[in-house]
Amino acid sequence: MKRFPSLKSNREFQYVYKNGASYGNRLLVMYVVKSGEDKNRIGISVSKKVGNSVVRHHMTRILREIFRLNNDKIQTGLNIVVVVRRAAAESDYRHLEGAYLHLCGLHHILRESK
């Protein structure tokens, strides 16, 4: 089984926060920086303000699945950090996916559909 392509260390998160461009909407904030690799990696940050550990882990699982299913729609070679806002705890999958793709569009990382 392949490992999920995620950012792990604090150093990787801090690099993206410091050097990446950021856009946000009501549910999410997204930081993006080019990595120079041939694949995308994602880091997900969910504060304790969002909810208890069950809610936070649920948000993480949903965002990992959104990233996995939409990874072919975005450019490769990126490190992405998604910060979950408090309003996302009451949102469903469809709204979170829409917010994610909206932020990808703002970052101009969506591939052209042919």
Region class of 27: left (phi > 0), else alpha (psi between -120 and 50), else beta? alpha
The 10 Å Cβ neighbour count of residue 11 is: 8
Does residue 112 form part of some domain? no
> Torsion angle, CA of 92/95/100/105, rounded to 10 degrees?
170
The residue range of the domain holding 45 is: 25-106
Does residue 19 form part of some domain? no
Mean pLDDT (whole number) for 96-104: 95
> Total domain count for the chain?
1
Does residue 86 form part of some domain? yes
Does residue 10 form part of some domain? no
Does residue 13 form part of some domain? no
Can you give the CATH number for the domain in which 93 is found? 3.30.230.10
Does residue 94 form part of some domain? yes
pTM for the whole structure? 0.92
- 111 — pLDDT class (breaks 50, 70, 90): confident
* Burial of residue 58 (number of CB atoms within 10 Å: 0-12, 13-18, 19+): middle
